[in-house]
Chains A and B, each alone.
Chain A
Amino acid sequence: DSGVTQTPKHLITATGQRVTLRCSPRSGDLSVYWYQQSLDQGLQFLIQYYNGEERAKGNILERFSAQQFPDLHSELNLSSLELGDSALYFCASSVAPGARELFFGEGSRLTVL
């Protein structure tokens, strides 16, 4: 158990819909990272937050947005969903940006039908 909690574990929805994925970091960690993993793209870095502020952005689509709240939990919002958005979405946390180790949650599996 990494200490990072992600909900929901599984989610099935239809194209055009909007979903929210939630992540609670390890106690004491201030940085949260989001990754997308699909079969053909591997692990893709989406975005990183530190203490509520966006710190780094990767290959995140405009239809996707994220935020980190004052209690340090984070949410990833995916809208206008397409079939290709079906993937495992991982959240990770670390003490601070550039910390040696990222701790990953178990992921949220999104299926878009």
Chain B
Amino acid sequence: DAKTTQPPSMDCAEGRAANLPCNHSTISGNEYVYWYRQIHSQGPQYIIHGLKNNETNEMASLIITEDRKSSTLILPHATLRDTAVYYCIVRVGHKDDKIIFGKGTRLHILP
């Protein structure tokens, strides 16, 4: 079962930052936070992951609270192509054999 809680949907204006929250209050010390997204009917795509430090790559930034019970994925300048379902996932380091997807957040970018 998914160990995360995400809002079912969010809207964001094009060009603005999209901030997607995720609660993972039962996260263990050795579990990472991963984010994937799925654009309509395509296969999910990896975005970013982190353990406790904030992370940034060319796609997004990941902010993890100090107690690690929640995190926020930030898309700095959302475009229409960012409209997708975003999944927040926790998994044990690099030993876990599978990724369990929850229901995710459906992000609508508004023109």
Does B bind A? yes
B26 on the A face (CB < 8 A): no
Of B15-23, B59-67, B72-80, B93-101, the stretch lying at the interface with chain A is: B93-101
- Whether B97 pairs with A98 at a CB distance below 8 angstroms is yes
- Whether B41 pairs with A88 at a CB distance below 8 angstroms is yes
SS of B interface (majority): loop
Expressed in whole angstroms, the Cα–Cα distance for A58 and B2 within the complex equals 13
Number of interface residues, chain A, beta carbon within 8 A: 26
A2 on the B face (CB < 8 A): yes
Number of interface residues, chain B, beta carbon within 8 A: 23
Expressed in whole angstroms, the Cα–Cα distance for A103 and B38 within the complex equals 12
- Whether B46 pairs with A107 at a CB distance below 8 angstroms is no
Among B46, B92, B104, which residue has the most Cβ atoms of chain A within 10 A?
Answer: B46
- Whether A42 pairs with B102 at a CB distance below 8 angstroms is yes
B108 on the A face (CB < 8 A): no
A contact residues vs B (CB 8 Å cutoff):
2, 4, 33, 35, 42-43, 45, 48, 50, 55-56, 58, 88, 90, 92, 97-107
The 3 nearest A-B residue pairs measured at CB: A104-B43, A43-B101, A56-B97
